[in-house]
Structure 1
Amino acid sequence: MPTLSLNGAEAFYADSGGDGEPVVLGHGYLMTSALWDRQAEALAEAGYRAVRLDWRGQGRSEVTAGGYDPWGLAADALALADRLGLERFHWVGHSMGGYVGYRLALRAPRRVASLVQIGTAAGAEGGAARRQYDALLWALRALGYGAVLGRVLPILYGPTYLADPARAADRTEQERRIRSNSRAGVFRAGRGIFGRDDVAGQLGRITAPTLVVTGEHDRPHPPHQGRADAERIPDATFVELADVGHTPPAEAPAETTRLVLDWLRRHPIA
């Protein structure tokens, strides 16, 4: 995986290449760009140029002192697009990547051709959730992943996925990816995104056609949040995935891929 310097951070990214319409994918918190392996492969096979990056502090990107709030990450995403010569692109974001997606569409509306927002929300983190996440962050920083994963995994994934014996190997791989992240980087990233501002009142300014996807059992961002966000966006569609939790790209990869490809085919870059 190559690297680029983006606003002072050495960032790892993957680019399928080609001259197809570019699709940039932003992963969720505690994860890496590998979250999108199956979707990126399908996108490339369908003729799209699939681009994804590890957010600063996560995966193989540099752990920096700052720049972790969603606006700063949106600046990183735009810098990546600039360096790769992507004048207009589709954005597909999960959770943290969705926080970035809304801000990209607000900051650079002419650059974002369409949005797919998965397991995310435009609002700020609620008080009770913010206190819970802050406690988990400090426990992770002090004690390591073993002290928090038992509480974190049911937040990230739905009950059906976690209980399915046929998905045991996949769950092991998902946990391995989480543990591969720098604890310092995850701590700083968490402080940045859990303290994010509220942009729900600005969603009416988004001009990009937007698909909002939420799992039925998404605990951090339940369906009513996604539905409310979609209702604020002038050209938006809301889809609820039955029996899926917070992370559809991993829990329901085939359905997620189908939704993304169908959306892109119906919203080509003019």
Structure 2
Amino acid sequence: MRGFKLWLTGLLVVASWGLTWHRTAPAQSPAARETYAELPGARIWYKDTGGDGVPVVFLHAATGSNRNWEYQIPAFVGAGFRFIAYDRRGWGRSVIDPAGKQPGTGADDLQSLMDHLRMDRFHLVGTAAGAFVALDYALSYPERLRSLVIANSVGGVQDEDFLELGRRIRPSPQFEGLPPDVRELGPSYRAANPEGTRRWIELEHLSRPQGAQAPAQTMRHRLTFSLLETINVPTLLLTGDADLFAPPPVLKLFADRIQGAESLIVPEAGHSTYWEKPDIFNRAVLDFVRKH
């Protein structure tokens, strides 16, 4: 009988160990994946490097797709962050679903993707037209953001005097007649990096399969400088000193309106700082997000 009691006691101890282990087993880290997310009105193609790092989400320009971040992936993953980028609705490999609500808003597409990935809070980086979405998202869902980076962008601001400034900087139709690489890559980069320029052009072509046009998505907000004054998210602004869309005086307009914004002007860079000066871009963004 005594032997039986000892055996039973041992069995209960082993069982309790198993229950304790089961209760305290760590949650599995998110797996790396590159696939579609079925969202309202669109199948959104995204890349997620997975892992336990703090997420950083990247929004591409109107001339790009998630492929354009090839210089950022190793830098951010190597620094321990979880890298996420996607093809915005109508770009790259994302597919519009005509049966769904169209055209939707970029901010709501981002919110739906973050919900799909069960993402709580994250850093958001937008370049050029991708920064329009980033600003709209910061105004719509500020509780989801750890920080905001706005790169090389006019921000989608609709104040008439600002629009008139843009018309003086980029006169029509002459400006639109320039090739995309001339508009968006600075002369220093094009002169010194013919192979990088060729690769950028290749990615620009891939961003619009078979010449498809992306939908003209509306914004949740009509963006104005007075509205930008209400942003309460840590913000970094950066641009290139040779940016034909958002030259340094434009960056200063945003820096004067967004509370506490930090700013950086990158020398010898055009409208694609992330591509032309990736080392400077990556270091500046990494230093910033680490603080928040």
TM-score band, normalised by shorter chain? 0.7 to 0.9
**Aligned AA for 1:221?**
A
Name the SS of the counterpart of 1:213 in structure 2.
Answer: strand
Matched, 1:214 2:239: yes
**Range with greater deviation from structure 2 (125-134 or 171-180):** 125-134
Query: What is the deviation of 1:134?
Result: 11
User: Equivalents in 2 of 1:199, 1:114: separation in Å?
Assistant: 20
Equivalent in the alignment of 2:201: 175
User: Equivalents in 1 of 2:204, 2:71: separation in Å?
Assistant: 18
CA-to-partner distance for each residue in 1:107-139, whole Å, 9 max, x for gaps? Answer: 001011101110012323835378848995xxx
Which of 82, 100, 109 is equivalent to 2:133? Answer: 100
Name the SS of the counterpart of 2:120 in structure 1.
Answer: coil
Contact kept in structure 1, 2:53 and 2:80, CA below 8 Å = yes
User: Equivalents in 1 of 2:271, 2:291: separation in Å?
Assistant: 25
CA-to-partner distance for each residue in 1:232-261, whole Å, 9 max, x for gaps? Answer: 111211111111100001100111110111
Equivalent in the alignment of 2:262: 237
CA-based RMSD: 2.5
Ranked by relative contact order (alpha carbons within 8 Å, sequence separation 6 or more), the top structure is 1
Percentage of identical aligned residues: 30
Unaligned ranges ≥5, structure 1 = 137-147
**Aligned AA for 1:236?**
A
What is the total number of aligned residue pairs between the two structures? 247
CA-to-partner distance for each residue in 1:45-87, whole Å, 9 max, x for gaps? Answer: 111111000111111111466427xxx0111111111111111
Which of 214, 218, 224 is equivalent to 1:199? Answer: 224
User: Equivalents in 2 of 1:220, 1:131: separation in Å?
Assistant: 11
Contact kept in structure 2, 1:245 and 1:251, CA below 8 Å = yes
Which of 249, 253, 256 is equivalent to 2:274? Answer: 249
**Range with greater deviation from structure 2 (150-159 or 28-37):** 150-159
Unaligned ranges ≥5, structure 2 = 1-33
Equivalent in the alignment of 1:5: 38
Which of 72, 78, 81 is equivalent to 2:114? Answer: 81
Matched, 1:154 2:182: yes
Bigger CA radius of gyration:
2
User: Equivalents in 2 of 1:57, 1:130: separation in Å?
Assistant: 25
CA-to-partner distance for each residue in 1:142-170, whole Å, 9 max, x for gaps? Answer: xxxxxx6x532221111111111xx2111
Which of 45, 50, 57 is equivalent to 1:24? Answer: 57
User: Equivalents in 1 of 2:47, 2:173: separation in Å?
Assistant: 30
Matched, 1:45 2:73: no
TM-score (norm 1): 0.84
- Bigger proportion of residues as helix: 1
User: Equivalents in 2 of 1:256, 1:135: separation in Å?
Assistant: 26
Contact kept in structure 2, 1:63 and 1:184, CA below 8 Å = no
CA-to-partner distance for each residue in 1:174-216, whole Å, 9 max, x for gaps? Answer: 111111213554x344x5489x943322111111100000110
**Aligned AA for 2:198?**
T
Equivalent in the alignment of 1:126: 163
User: Equivalents in 2 of 1:107, 1:134: separation in Å?
Assistant: 36
User: Equivalents in 2 of 1:87, 1:135: separation in Å?
Assistant: 41
CA gap 1:179/1:264 in 2 versus in 1, 3 angstroms: same
Name the SS of the counterpart of 1:229 in structure 2.
Answer: helix
Name the SS of the counterpart of 2:47 in structure 1.
Answer: strand
Contact kept in structure 1, 2:136 and 2:223, CA below 8 Å = no
Query: What is the deviation of 1:6?
Result: 2.2
CA gap 1:266/1:57 in 2 versus in 1, 3 angstroms: same
